[in-house]
Amino acid sequence: MSICPPYSKCSPMKTMLAQFILALNLLQAITSRAWFLSGQAQPQVPCLFIFGDSLVDNGNNNNILTLARANYRPYGIDFTEGSSGRFTNGRTTVDVLAQLLGFRSFIPPYAAAQRSDISKGLNFASGAAGIRDETGNNLGDHYPLAQQVNHFRDTATMMTRMFRGNTTRATEYLGKCIYYMGLGSNDYLNNYFMPTMYSTSREYSPSTYSALLLQDYSRQLSEMYDLGARKMVIVGVGQIGCIPYELARNNNNRSNKKDPCNEEINKAVSIFNTGLLRMVNRFNAQLPNAKFIYLNTFESSKDVASNATAYGFNVVDKGCCGVGRNNGQITCLPFQTPCEDRSRYLFWDAFHPTEVANVIYARKAYDSSSTSEVYPMNIRRLAMA
């Protein structure tokens, strides 16, 4: 199979370079997995707590009444470390980050966690979740950000009991952990840009809506800070106007044939992301010992899509598994046969990246030296801070 995208020409040198980069990416993925399973690395932080949506949910929605669940094949087809509820073919971004941080096992979902799991962290993320409580209700039950924070509050209480009621020691312990916050996508996809189900786009301009989201987000983050959280990873929203779902919807409506993305969504998301960066700076300036960093997922996803060949992808406009135009009109169905070579696809289904893409995004978050991708430091430095 040629590594050049369809209908394009690659020079022999460019093809060789692209093949080398692809091989390097795959080698890194295999090496990180072997290192993880060997159990030799020591965690760089005592615990990792995860808040978010389906991009990082690993099973919290498995047993609730919702369409936003992924505990069926072919989801998890390449996930070999036990059962899964992940919305991709293998590991999520936070699974890879856990490996890079040296954890000996994946961070368990809150819904299935044991008391003994608490000390290394929990995953509170829920498919369809957003910053606003009503976001994602069109898909059924889920745990919005406020409820995820409540679950963390209960966890912090249990942590205090583990320290025999010593609040100071428990708070110091929690202050050394990393908190991954990945929300906002559904507040646009399953709220603002779904006018038949939600009234927000008629009530608020994109700027006003962004301000309301940031206000709610800031309040929840402040509550987490009061509970002991100090090292926060605030994840920006990616180019969701370019996912297969939006490409399929936008196919007959776009005027610019060279840009198949829904730029109305991308522009609205950019307003929100700009506010996130300001919020990170404000928290770092105002809260004692706070160490907030911003992951510019919009920039990272744009870089990967724009340089897809160099990253080893030759399919960037449709899901590996799905139904309809761009494999994005209906998401991956139970027991559907996915694409054979998943390493060549940027997207697994209508909404979510493949495992190979998640490895790339995780490594950027962990080790990038570019402040346009991670600001003011990467996760590796945050762990040492």
Query: 26: which 2 tokens?
Result: 């795959």
DSSP state of 345: E
Distance of CA 32 to the CA centre of its chain: 19
What are 111's strand-pairing partners? Answer: none
Nearest 5°: the CA angle 294, 123, 112 is: 175
Residue type for position 339: C
DSSP state of 295: E
Query: 307: which 2 tokens?
Result: 């340089």
109 — phi, psi (to 5°)?
Answer: -70, 145
State the catalytic residues.
54, 349, 352
343 — phi, psi (to 5°)?
Answer: -70, -15
DSSP state of 179: E
Pairing of strands 291-295, 374-375: antiparallel
The span from the CA of 19 to the CA of 10, in Å, is: 12
CA within 13 Å, CB half, 310: 5
382 — phi, psi (to 5°)?
Answer: -60, -40
Give SS3 for 180: strand
Measured over the CA atoms of residue 23, residue 29, residue 35 and residue 37, the dihedral's sign is negative
What b/e readout covers 120-143, taking b as 16+ CB neighbours within 10 angstroms? bbbbbbbbbbbbbeebbbbbeebb
321 — phi, psi (to 5°)?
Answer: -140, 130
